[in-house]
């Protein structure tokens, strides 16, 4: 997938297998065609793998939610309901596409297409394994978030082009959510750049290789500042991908579907697919920034191919997204914005200071590791407690009454 040189011959065969398969396809082509053919193979592989993953995730989430809610979930189409995603895809393709007469037909079509395109483009810079990256650039992290910010424009296009006041107001509400949580999302990964001194994702992942005492991996999540940054990143990712408890743009309890009210058929499916692609891309970014990317969690497990470790970490985070949806209730819009601006943003800014202290205190030596760790924890815990108390002010304690049995 990558334009990097092929792996060294001493690497295990399974590690070299993806690149060997690529070489098998391009070996008989003329030399000038190799670059173009490699790029086309990368595009086809990314679209195929993540397209199939989208179908699997929709089925897995419906099954998980069904078991949590004490119901079977899809179990009619195919064995154990395995063909339900494909049946849903056929239904969306054949369903009538209804567009309001007064709507802007061009923007109405471009909104889901642009949203899906932006989600797919983010997959290009994520390193899926050693030398398995479609586009290895020095500013990969910056590219990822720059392309991902196009979702706000697509959401507003959907609400505006529908020529529906409910869709427009819902689009504005969705924009308020996306802009509010994009700030802590962006600030949360800056500490990684401060420590790694690079915007290259492959370089960031390679810096997390190795193990302390032969056991503890050098993943950034195992540092005090890294754990806080990872938590802030994942909470913001929930809101950015419209996942529960931040799924206000198209809440099921409302009579309308937010900015998607005037969408049906395949256009609606494109929005649905872009949401899952965005969730997957953010999870892959979290794996690369904080969880060591393709690196194994133990030096005794390095014989397993790097891309399989990336897949395990990615699927674990996606399972966490599903578990959270099945567990937490939805927030109100005032709670959502209050949580972003009064808690996440200040905490993410304070974490920048904490990371700066962690970097500047590296030359203290091993004898001062404990004092260094204590000071870092104080810089994290004290602001967290103060901001938590301030966040809870103004809200009365909820009381619940139940009808007599």
* Cα–Cα dist 27/174, whole Å: 49
Please state, as a whole number, how many other Cβ atoms lie within 10 Å of the Cβ of residue 345.
Answer: 19
Question: How remote is the C-alpha of 322 from its chain's centroid?
Answer: 13
For residue 343, give the DSSP letter. Answer: I
Bridge partners of 132, per DSSP, are 129
Please state, as a whole number, how many other Cβ atoms lie within 10 Å of the Cβ of residue 404.
Answer: 4
> Which residues in the chain come in under a pLDDT of 50?
1-7
State residue 395's pLDDT score. Answer: 63
Structure tokens at 368: 């001062």
* Cα–Cα dist 245/330, whole Å: 4
State residue 269's pLDDT score. Answer: 92
State residue 3's pLDDT score. Answer: 44
Please state, as a whole number, how many other Cβ atoms lie within 10 Å of the Cβ of residue 123.
Answer: 21
For 90-148, the pLDDT digits (tens) are 999 898 888 999 999 999 999 999 999 999 999 999 999 988 899 899 999 999 999 98
State residue 259's pLDDT score. Answer: 86
State residue 2's pLDDT score. Answer: 46
State residue 16's pLDDT score. Answer: 85
């Amino acid at each position: 997938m990558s334009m990097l040189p092929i792996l060294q011959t001493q690497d295990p065969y399974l590690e070299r297998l993806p690149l060997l398969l690529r070489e098998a396809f391009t070996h008989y082509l003329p030399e000038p065609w190799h670059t173009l053919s490699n790029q086309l193979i990368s595009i086809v592989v990314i679209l195929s793998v993540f397209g199939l993953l989208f179908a699997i995730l929709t089925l897995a989430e419906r099954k998980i939610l069904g078991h949590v809610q004490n119901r079977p979930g899809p179990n009619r189409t195919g064995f154990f309901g395995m063909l339900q995603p494909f049946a849903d895809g056929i239904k969306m393709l054949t369903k009538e596409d209804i567009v309001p007469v007064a709507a802007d037909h061009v923007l109405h079509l471009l909104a889901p297409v642009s949203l899906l395109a932006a989600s797919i483009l983010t997959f290009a810079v994520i390193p899926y394994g050693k030398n398995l990256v479609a586009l290895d650039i020095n500013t990969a992290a910056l590219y990822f978030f720059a392309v991902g910010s196009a979702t706000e424009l697509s959401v507003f296009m959907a609400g505006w082009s529908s020529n529906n006041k409910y869709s427009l107001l819902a689009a504005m509400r969705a924009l308020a959510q996306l802009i509010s949580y994009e700030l802590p999302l962006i600030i949360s990964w800056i500490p990684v750049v401060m420590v790694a001194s690079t915007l290259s994702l492959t370089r960031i992942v390679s810096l997390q290789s190795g193990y302390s005492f032969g056991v503890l991996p050098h993943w950034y999540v195992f540092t005090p500042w890294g754990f806080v940054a990872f938590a802030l990143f994942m909470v913001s990712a929930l809101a950015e991908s419209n996942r529960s408890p931040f799924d206000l743009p198209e809440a099921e309890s409302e009579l309308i579907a937010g900015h998607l009210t005037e969408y049906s058929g395949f256009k609606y499916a494109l929005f649905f697919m872009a949401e899952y692609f965005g969730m997957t891309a953010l999870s892959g970014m979290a794996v690369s920034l904080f969880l060591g990317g393709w690196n194994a969690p133990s030096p005794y497990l390095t014989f397993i191919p790097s891309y399989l470790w990336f897949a395990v970490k990615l699927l674990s985070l996606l399972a966490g997204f599903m578990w959270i949806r099945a567990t937490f209730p939805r927030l109100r819009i005032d709670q959502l914005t209050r949580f972003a601006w009064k808690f996440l943003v200040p905490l993410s800014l304070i974490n920048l200071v904490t990371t700066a202290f962690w970097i500047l205190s590296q030359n203290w030596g091993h004898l001062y590791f404990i004092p260094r760790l204590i000071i870092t924890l104080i810089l994290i815990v004290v602001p967290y407690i103060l901001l938590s108390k301030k966040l809870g002010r103004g809200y009365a304690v909820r009381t619940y009454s139940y009808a007599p049995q």
